[in-house]
Amino acid sequence: MNKTNNSVVPGVYRHFKGGTYCVFVSASHTEIDQELVVYASMHGDRKLWARPVKKFLQTVEVGGEMVPRFSFVRPFRDDE
């Protein structure tokens, strides 16, 4: 995430439950003009997902503490 403007940048992110995901692009929903983040799991079926940017950037409560739903880990490497 680019903390200066709350945008999501491509790269590897960790979900608060522990999974890692590749974030590819942001997109706009065709019908409601909502910004979406397009991402895929780095394990298992590698299913492609889309989530509203606002929800992607939300914090969630874990053990009484507020943590980011997704945390930026690193940019993509050239070989990915």
The secondary element (H helix, E strand) that includes residue 55 is helix 53-56
Residue 58 forms part of a structural domain: yes
pTM for the model stands at 0.83
Residue 6's pLDDT is what? 66
Residue 42's pLDDT is what? 92
Give the total number of structural domains in the chain: 1
Residue 4 forms part of a structural domain: no
Locus of tokens 């507020």: 66
* Whether residue 24 has pLDDT greater than 70: yes
Asked if residue 53 lies in contact with residue 35, where contact means CB atoms within 8 angstroms, the answer is: yes
Write the CATH number for 63: 2.30.30.320
Residue 40: which domain range? 11-74
How much is the average pLDDT of 1-21? 81
Residue 3 forms part of a structural domain: no
Between 50 and 44, whose confidence is greater? 50
Which band of pLDDT confidence, cut at 50, 70 and 90, is reported for residue 5?
Answer: low
Sign of CA dihedral 23, 59, 34, 19: positive
Residue 56 forms part of a structural domain: yes
* Whether residue 72 has pLDDT greater than 90: yes
Sign of CA dihedral 80, 77, 18, 13: negative
